[in-house]
Chain A
Amino acid sequence: MRACPLKHAATNNAGTRRFPVWGMTKPVLMLFALFVLMAPSVQADGNRVAVSLIPGAPGMAEAAGNGGMFWLGVDMQIKEGWHIYWRNPGDSGLPTTIRWNPHPRLSPGEIHWPRPSRFDEDGITTYGYSDRVTLLVPVSLTQGGPQPDYGTSGEAPGGTNGGTSGNPPDSGVDGYKEDGSRASGAVSEKPLSADLNWLVCKEICLPESATVSMSVGEGGKFEGFSVSGADRITQSMNLVPGVAEEWRGHAVLAAGRFEITLTPHTGNAVFPDEHDIYFYPDRQGLIEHTAPQEVSRDGDELTIVVPVSRYLRSAPGEISGVLSAKESWGRDRNMPAIEMVFPVTVRDGEN
């Protein structure tokens, strides 16, 4: 099927010599088309990760009704066999970074990271994602949120605004600043855009980058919104570790190991199967990532023993990170991963 537009293009461009590919014989052209069709995993830009933005709300008005914020998914589809990194990449690697371009109406916050997976390779351990991950970013509406006139999107304040296309990219910003009453949301706005950088690895590592953007249409509508996209955000939200009021914990540093102890704090705490529990520390240099973690349960006490990193120079006041399990840590909610902070005490122990 793809061969048809190609052939059409071939006729049109035959004389220009700008695309030598058009001059190929028919069988070669078909082979070429086949090759193009068979190589969907590498992006047009040569990247191993395809990135797009998924708005979690249809537009400004819905976000305003949601306390002036909405969730934006940064969807990363990763070529098979490759992986990218969590906020703590582990023994090597780099976390994905997002640099948002300033926007007059939308203010993105910090990344909320779904719980990572663990990768063991070449004698080291890293934390990250394969296949697909949707990073979540809370976006606040600034300058008071949308105006009531969003419904009248057709009636743009004509003379002053010709849409974004005719203006320099930043003119919209100034427009908002000058126009105190700001009966403005009706026109297409500046897109929300960001520069992403990530490291993708599979035996070898490659730094990649992309610029992504979400258009804001008439009436403050977020382009690209779909029900399936919103579902994707909900799924990803379930994988972002929650703050667990249900649990309390502390850690003891002794004999080169952290002994992390958790106990239920409310009646809603549920013990997941300890075989699936893993502690992902928030930063490098705290624990030996490669070492097995010994998880055991004794009555109401869950204990995780992890060797201290050889690069830890002094005892930290606390260690924090994500406790991941297969089942939920709370009775009434789907919470397979929790954020915990453990105050650290140092014990002489058997030393």
Chain B
Amino acid sequence: MKNRITIIAVVLFCAFFAGFAMAEDRKGPEIGKKAPDFTLPDAAGVEHTLSDYEGKYVVLEWLNHDCPFVVKHYATGNMQMLQEKYRDQDVVWLSIISSAPGKQGHLEPDEAKKITRDKQAKPAAVLLDPEGTVGRAYDARVTPHMYIIDPDGMLRYMGAIDDRPTANHADVEGARNFVSEALDLLLEGRDVEVSSHQPYGCTVKY
């Protein structure tokens, strides 16, 4: 009994200080803090400013259609399904392309429009970040790298789309999707259980 109490105490102690230690200043956004504001044009040339969406949940999805990890989620219809499902719940879904010109995944506005149509993707907008400014501000490292921002502009989730770090299409089914899990909890007014998870995918081609 005494042992058990000691173990619990140690675990609590560890968890507390680990969280504390990790709140140290580091580049990139932090869970529970204000997400970096930005303005980017979409494929139609319309500018989108993050802070204009205050009052709504916003999902940021880093996108490169030539990346096998992204292909896994689009070829299976998984990403489109999520985009549509949460659009219907008033969530603003922004897909961001940070590939530099000449690098894999880079799209000119017309190409971005076409591929979005061809893939039947349903984001609120595909934003073009060819200079990588917003990608770097979010420390977006891979595609897909996912972020959820709450109606107050606070970051609620960052990291992997799910718990299956593979490019295998068969792994979509049955995966624990951290983005939909977090959104469902938030939309019910509850706390996010997994607020960050090591992301997986291709590197962002800055």
Question: What's the least CB distance linking A124 to chain B, in Å?
Answer: 5
The answer to the question of B19 belonging to the interface, with a C-beta cut-off of 8 Å to chain A, is yes
Known: A206-B68, A346-B14. A351 touches B20 (CB 8 A): yes
Known: A94-B167, A199-B68. A351 touches B21 (CB 8 A): yes
Of residues 280 through 316 on chain A, the ones whose CB sits less than 8 Å from some CB of chain B are: 284-285, 307-315
Known: A122-B203, A308-B22. A285 touches B198 (CB 8 A): yes
Known: A94-B167, A204-B66. A256 touches B26 (CB 8 A): yes
Of residues 20 through 48 on chain B, the ones whose CB sits less than 8 Å from some CB of chain A are: 20-24, 26, 28, 30
From the candidates A122, A203, A314, A347, name the one contacting B19 in the complex (CB within 8 A). A314
The residues of B that contact A346 with a CB separation of less than 8 Å are 13-14, 17-18, 21
Q: Are B141 and A308 in contact (CB under 8 A)?
A: no
The answer to the question of B159 belonging to the interface, with a C-beta cut-off of 8 Å to chain A, is yes
Of residues 160 through 206 on chain B, the ones whose CB sits less than 8 Å from some CB of chain A are: 165-168, 194-206
User: Which of B13, B18, B201 has the most chain A CB atoms closer than 10 A to its own CB?
Assistant: B18
Bound-state Cα–Cα, A256 to B26, Å: 10
- Against B, the Cβ 8 Å flags (1 = close, 0 = not) of A196-211 are 0101010111110000
Known: A253-B18, A310-B22, A312-B18. A92 touches B195 (CB 8 A): no
The answer to the question of A274 belonging to the interface, with a C-beta cut-off of 8 Å to chain B, is no
Number of interface residues of A (CB under 8 A): 36
Q: Please, which residue of chain A has its CB at the minimum distance from the CB of B198?
A: A285
Bound-state Cα–Cα, A94 to B68, Å: 11
Bound-state Cα–Cα, A351 to B21, Å: 7
Question: What's the least CB distance linking A221 to chain B, in Å?
Answer: 36
The residues of B that contact A253 with a CB separation of less than 8 Å are 14, 17-18, 21
The answer to the question of A121 belonging to the interface, with a C-beta cut-off of 8 Å to chain B, is yes
Q: Please, which residue of chain A has its CB at the minimum distance from the CB of B68?
A: A207
The residues of A that contact B196 with a CB separation of less than 8 Å are 310-311, 313
Q: Are B203 and A254 in contact (CB under 8 A)?
A: no
Please classify how large the interface on chain B is, using the bins under 10, 10 to 19, 20 to 34, 35 or more.
Answer: 35 or more
Question: What's the least CB distance linking B49 to chain A, in Å?
Answer: 25
Question: What's the least CB distance linking A1 to chain B, in Å?
Answer: 38
The answer to the question of A348 belonging to the interface, with a C-beta cut-off of 8 Å to chain B, is yes
The residues of B that contact A91 with a CB separation of less than 8 Å are 141-142, 203
Question: What's the least CB distance linking B128 to chain A, in Å?
Answer: 18
Question: What's the least CB distance linking B167 to chain A, in Å?
Answer: 5
The residues of B that contact A144 with a CB separation of less than 8 Å are none
Q: Are A310 and B18 in contact (CB under 8 A)?
A: no
A-B contact count (CB 8 A): 106
Known: A122-B203, A346-B13. A311 touches B197 (CB 8 A): yes
The answer to the question of A123 belonging to the interface, with a C-beta cut-off of 8 Å to chain B, is yes
The residues of A that contact B139 with a CB separation of less than 8 Å are 310
The answer to the question of A28 belonging to the interface, with a C-beta cut-off of 8 Å to chain B, is no
Q: Are B21 and A311 in contact (CB under 8 A)?
A: no
Known: A91-B203, A92-B141. A315 touches B68 (CB 8 A): no
The residues of A that contact B66 with a CB separation of less than 8 Å are 204
From the candidates B24, B103, B203, name the one contacting A256 in the complex (CB within 8 A). B24
Question: What's the least CB distance linking B143 to chain A, in Å?
Answer: 9
The answer to the question of B67 belonging to the interface, with a C-beta cut-off of 8 Å to chain A, is yes
Known: A92-B203, A313-B196. A124 touches B24 (CB 8 A): no
Bound-state Cα–Cα, A206 to B67, Å: 8
Q: Are B141 and A124 in contact (CB under 8 A)?
A: yes
Question: What's the least CB distance linking B155 to chain A, in Å?
Answer: 12
Of residues 75 through 90 on chain B, the ones whose CB sits less than 8 Å from some CB of chain A are: none
The answer to the question of B104 belonging to the interface, with a C-beta cut-off of 8 Å to chain A, is yes
Q: Please, which residue of chain B has its CB at the minimum distance from the CB of A254?
A: B21
Q: Are B166 and A311 in contact (CB under 8 A)?
A: no
Q: Please, which residue of chain A has its CB at the minimum distance from the CB of B167?
A: A207
5 closest A-B pairs (Cβ-Cβ)?
Answer: A285-B198, A315-B18, A256-B24, A315-B14, A122-B203
A-B contact pairs, 13 of them (CB 8 A): A122-B141, A123-B204, A124-B141, A199-B167, A207-B68, A253-B21, A285-B198, A310-B22, A312-B22, A314-B14, A314-B19, A315-B18, A351-B17
Apart from A256-B24, A308-B21, what 12 extra A-B contacts exist at CB < 8 Å? A92-B200, A122-B141, A203-B205, A204-B104, A205-B69, A253-B21, A256-B23, A284-B198, A310-B28, A313-B19, A313-B196, A349-B21
